[in-house]
Structure 1
Amino acid sequence: MKPKTHKGQLTVWKDERGFGFIKPNHGDQDVFLHITGLKNPNRRPQVDDIILYQVTVDNKGKRRASNAVIEGTASQPSPKQLAKTSAKRKGSKKRTKSSLLVWEVLFLSLFPIGGSVHLASITSNFIPLLLYLSMSGLTFLLYAHDKSHARTGEWRTPEKTLHLCELAGGWLGAFIAQRTLRHKSSKNSYQIVFWAIVAFHIMFWSAWLFKHLFNIRI
């Protein structure tokens, strides 16, 4: 059974000692209130505050207020509750970003990877598919290496080297690195070249697939 909630006025409050007494609205004897009996207060109690509370009896038979709330003030979450809420929000954002990244990768790689797989199935030529996988892994590592050196002021990987790796099939790894490592994603001049490389791969494989699947002459 849920404990009954009472209402009363705080008639005595000794702030330096953290306790006081509530006079219940129904006229019973005063109820002792300790600061620890307040539920997540967002300010200190004051005389004449209206208190909503539940009554417990300690081992000495003394009536004490518990789960008390100052009427008219919203209860403030505890640090632990704030930390849990923050952690949940961060986890939710991470899951959302991860899910979005997966869909972006699938969308961009649909024709290049699909074309490479189809080529391998009809000619047993796995070179394009292997290049995409190996170069993407290598390019991702180069991005991570370059970002690490950017932070420490050490020798950087030349942008031409990164673009050559992207052109050789590592653009998918570069895209994932840009999204997860936040590297090279805000430099406009770099992004123009990067997306030109991505467009080239997508258009090449789109044309190849349409030609071989639908016998269309390009």
Structure 2
Amino acid sequence: MNADLYSGKLVIWKDDRGFGFIQPDDGGKEVFLHISELKDSPRRPRINDTIYYYCTTNSDGKTRAVNASIRGLKKRSEPPLKKPRPGDKPGPKTGLALLLVKLLLLLSLPLAGATHFNWVTGNYWPLLLYPVMSVFTFVLYADDKTRARQKIWRTSEQTLHVCELAGGWPGGYVAQRVLRHKSIKPSYQFEFWLIVVLHQFAWLVWLGFGLK
């Protein structure tokens, strides 16, 4: 089961059969929901309810919602106070710290390469490009998620990937974790991490075989 909490609108509900489909806020494919995953709900779901849920993947590769709740009836964002136990999901501050650590690890090689490139060639553009494109890409992610919720014209995935390839992948990485956008679609994730690997490899080649 994916540890991230998602939300979406219930667009299909067959009450007599006890199942329906959620349209995720990030605009991905509809997610299957069974009534058994709403055990703590004081009422049955209705069309246009906002559903909070976790995701799991069946053996056939299809995604379904688990541990779901209806907004306004049960707030997952305000769980009862309890002592933390080993294995508990980290809180907001801990989660932010882990995100920063992971981001710094991913950036260590590109930053080292860009710094070396600047020292050898006097060209500072790679050092400038990463933060500028990251901010721009983060804004594109946020705008696309808003458009997905409003069901209006979306930013194409190709455009997002071009911005990531141009140096904005750190901003895309943060947006995926903070905004919960484009973070569960396998094909998108494959292309995103391919871009990250290409950047890592390019700087590794530069550091290993570039000008001294």
TM-score under structure 2 length normalisation = 0.57
- Match of residue 152, structure 1, among 150, 163, 166: 150
Deviation at 1:111, TM superposition (A): 0.9
Aligned partner of 2:183 in structure 1 is 185
The aligned amino acid for 1:154 is: I
What per-residue deviation string (whole Å, max 9, x for no partner) do you get for residues 135-183 of structure 1?
1110000000000111111111000100000011101110010011110
Aligned partner of 2:9 in structure 1 is none
Q: How does 1:47-62 map to 2 (within 5 A)?
A: none
Partners in 2 of 1:94 and 1:124 — Cα distance?
40
Aligned partner of 2:101 in structure 1 is 103
Partners in 2 of 1:122 and 1:179 — Cα distance?
35
Partners in 2 of 1:204 and 1:164 — Cα distance?
17
Q: Percentage identity across aligned positions?
A: 48
For the pair 1:209 / 2:204, whether they are aligned, the reply is no
Aligned partner of 1:126 in structure 2 is 124
Partners in 2 of 1:164 and 1:142 — Cα distance?
12
Deviation at 1:122, TM superposition (A): 2.5
The aligned amino acid for 2:145 is: K
User: Based on CA coordinates, which of the two structures has the bigger radius of gyration?
Assistant: 1
> Helix, strand or coil for the counterpart of 1:180?
helix
Deviation at 1:192, TM superposition (A): 0.8
Partners in 2 of 1:133 and 1:117 — Cα distance?
14
- 5+ residue gaps, structure 1, are 1-81
Partners in 1 of 2:80 and 2:188 — Cα distance?
39
Partners in 2 of 1:136 and 1:111 — Cα distance?
16
What per-residue deviation string (whole Å, max 9, x for no partner) do you get for residues 49-72 of structure 1?
xxxxxxxxxxxxxxxxxxxxxxxx
Q: CA RMSD in A?
A: 2.6
Greater relative contact order (Cα < 8 A, sep 6+): 2
Aligned partner of 2:171 in structure 1 is 173
> Helix, strand or coil for the counterpart of 1:194?
helix
Partners in 1 of 2:177 and 2:151 — Cα distance?
22
The aligned amino acid for 2:81 is: T
- 5+ residue gaps, structure 2, are 1-77
Deviation at 1:121, TM superposition (A): 2.2
Partners in 1 of 2:164 and 2:139 — Cα distance?
12
